[in-house]
Structure 1
């Protein structure tokens, strides 16, 4: 049940848009009080809420709580109005229950308002993000974009090297995550340039970035160069592209480091930092994602949080032919990925490793065991956030994975 739903007198459903929204307001009996388009403008939003203020307590519900829906929620909060959101998938399913097949902003806004009035269980509570969480959300999203671009650029470099000199790719590719390799390709972007520079000069250059491995890696590179004597068509053009890609990769990684410094500072300043990072394998980026995706939202139980994160199994049963539990494909994918990767990193923790090994002994595959571990850790996370307590390690082998004490 949506908190304090019984005290609401007016339900405003807003179908948000980039430049224009559409709002429908109805009272508790279902009577339509307002139905109008409005621009993405603070003054107009305030005027709309003021227009129905005399009818009682108001609940504003949107279908997108972030990006284009952020301003309506911020205005409502500033005016002391309750806010919530209706997930897009739930809205589409509810829309199928209404007559008509039209897809208009007015119809969608009316569906949101009516769902808020009659189906409070479909709504999600929102405590609008504070400044720290808002900044973290933007920075983490940008960091995700940078990570994707860096991965794509690395793959493009590997692809080009494989095309023109496979042996060289096998040597450089396995160390491409080290800063020395992009710097090397930026200065000597092809087999011909490397040969002209010579092993001694290349080793000297590489030692600036990799003092310990520079000499050995330079020897491996020239050993790889000796394995191919022919020049593949397009090698010269590939050199031009490789130099640009190497520069781009180095810039992307520098940008990620700068963003990470800001994320680290914001997480360190957040009240939940010490609590979240007391849990094994919860680092800065995982803590940041928990802050942006979990805090400020209301979850009745640990199961609700796990469902929101997409960590609850889905049972498929139909007669005797289809039986089994399968991973959910729904939920918050950003949070699910963060918790999954955190669970993978937690395999170094003895308690988490013991739980993972127990699931493997039950004939579960690697990913299934990791999802089970992520779900178990999600339960602990819920208890920690609910009680405001730090993670404590079990003292006996048979104890649960962890307790919040």
Structure 2
């Protein structure tokens, strides 16, 4: 009989919208037990009681800590239980052994035991979470506004000539204002009346979305100016790029081991692409693509307006570097410059939260 007081145990949680499956294994990988709990506050406490029934609990691996597993992950961290973020189970294993909630939960525990899952989950209770929520809402509003103006223009193309001639040649701003101020019949019957009525509604939708975008942009700007002034003052950095880089880093930057780790996370680390007599590196197509896009836009601004960056590009072109290779080098340099500022911005907030 094994003494549970001296038994090292690793937990795994497979998360879903309504239920979570919790499993435990020992240090040899032997399956101990598993249980299903609801995805509620009471279910999180049940999962805690289940895992704490083994005094030697070392760490818990949780899938989808940024979505379905966010609640249970926070509950574990509040209870001072070490948590690691687990990626999806290996597809080859799924083909061989099948898939089920217990299998995924045990796989999560095995990933923690083997060290394959070692990254700490992002914090979800600080500045970065506020930025993420606001930026997500703003991005969806931007997408909807673009779809709305495209729909307006498409509808005008097929509209009766009397409508097309009335709004022909107007800029987007004047077109929206004119359509929003129009007075079509309140009970449309003909195709022309229905088109005019729909165009006014779409124009007012565009105006409402623009108001939301401006409101959300103002809140993002205020938060960044208050909490990340050093980042905002870096040449080429703006509201959207700084917000995205902070979101990628997360509320707990200590999860990033080094500047090189952040470069890899943002897809800005050089990838060897040498063969034979060719010795070179290429752009990294892995990592967080939105963070990589933010770095790319900062580099473009610097290449256009910063003389020092333009001189660097001219020198590297003379050395035989391509434009994409120069941008890759500039991205990596940019990470080296921004990483200490990102840590400096977020670290005091973590210390304040912990206190």
State the TM bucket, normalised to the shorter chain. Answer: 0.7 to 0.9
Does 2:143 align with 1:185? no
Tell me whether 1:280 sits opposite 2:235 in the alignment.
yes
Q: RMSD in angstroms over aligned alpha carbons? A: 3.5
> Is 136-145 or 98-107 further displaced after alignment?
98-107
- What is the match of residue 378 of structure 1? 335
Which residue matches 1:261?
Answer: 218
C-alpha deviation, 1:163, in angstroms: 5.2
Contact 1:281 1:342 in 2 (8 A): yes
Q: Which residue does 1:304 correspond to in 2?
A: 261
Closer, same or farther in 2 for the Cα pair 1:183/1:112, shift >3 Å? Answer: same
Using structure 1 for the length normalisation, give the TM-score.
0.69
Aligned to 1:342: 298
SS across alignment from 2:71: helix
| Unaligned stretches of 5+ residues in structure 1 | 1-7, 191-233, 390-405
Cα distance 1:101–1:282, how it changes in 2: closer, same or farther (>3 A)? Answer: same
Aligned ranges 1:1-20 → 2 under 5 Å: 9-20=8-19
Specify the alignment match of 1:291 in structure 2: 246
Partner SS state of residue 199, structure 2 = helix
- Give the structure 2 partner of residue 56 of structure 1: 56
**Cα contact 1:189–1:242 (8 A) shared by 2:** no
State how many pairs are aligned.
327
Asked if structure 2 preserves the Cα contact closer than 8 Å seen for 1:309 and 1:336, the reply is yes
Q: Is the 8 A contact 1:61 1:85 kept in 2?
A: yes
Change (3 A) 1:31 1:352: same
Whole-Å separation in 2 of the counterparts to 1:127 and 1:114? 21
Offset at residue 267 of structure 1 (A): 2.6
Q: 2:308 corresponds to which residue? A: 351
Deviations 1:75-116 (A, max 9, x none): 01111111220233xx33xx5257834122211111111011
Q: 1:268 to 1:50 in 2, by over 3 A?
A: farther
The answer to whether the 8 Å contact 1:149/1:252 transfers is yes
Query: How many angstroms does 1:143 deviate by?
Result: 1.0
Mark the CA change 1:169 to 1:36 in structure 2 (over 3 Å): closer, same or farther. farther
Alpha carbons of structure 1 residues 359 and 26: separation in structure 2 relative to 1, 3 Å: farther
1:70, CA displacement in angstroms? Answer: 0.8
2:139 equivalent to 1:141? no
Determine whether 1:29 maps to 2:31: no
Specify which of 104, 107, 112 is matched with residue 103 of structure 2: 107
In 2, Cα distance between equivalents of 1:170 and 1:294: 47
SS for the counterpart of 1:50 is helix
1:123-150 Cα distance to aligned partner (Å, 9 max, x none): 3223523333222221111111111111
Q: Structure 2: how far apart are the matches of 1:10 and 1:278?
A: 48
Would you say the 8 A contact 2:65–2:73 is kept in 1? yes
**Structure 2 vs 1, CA of residues 98 and 245 (structure 1 numbering), >3 Å: closer, same or farther?**
closer
In the alignment, the residues of structure 1 paired with residue 158 and residue 315 of structure 2 have an alpha-carbon distance, to the nearest angstrom, of 45
Q: TM-score, normalised by structure 2?
A: 0.78
Aligned to 1:364: 322
Task: Please list the CA deviations of residues 166-206 of structure 1 after superposition, one character each: whole Å capped at 9, or x if unmatched.
Answer: 9998943xx42x4x44212323599xxxxxxxxxxxxxxxx
Asked if 2 retains the 8 angstrom alpha-carbon contact of 1:161 and 1:168, the reply is no
- 1:95-174 matched pairs, under 5 angstroms: 95-97=91-93, 100-120=96-116, 122-162=117-157, 171-172=169-170
Deviations 1:285-328 (A, max 9, x none): 322222222032422233321221123455567899x9986544
Q: CA separation in 1, counterparts of 2:193 and 2:316? A: 53
Relative to structure 1, the CA distance from residue 22 to residue 381 in structure 2 (aligned partners, 3 Å threshold; closer, same or farther) is same
In the superposition, relative to structure 1, how do residues 373 and 167 fare at CA in structure 2: closer, same or farther (>3 Å)?
farther
Gaps of 5+ in 2: 1-6, 185-190, 347-355
The residue aligned with 2:45 is: 46
Q: Which gives a bigger RCO, structure 1 or 2 (Cα 8 Å, sep 6+)?
A: 2
**What residue number does 1:70 align with?**
70
CA contact (8 A) 1:73 1:128 kept: no
Q: 1:246 aligned to 203, 219, 222, which one?
A: 203
Distance 2:83 2:154 in 1: 49
Provide the secondary structure at the position in 2 that maps to 1:11: strand
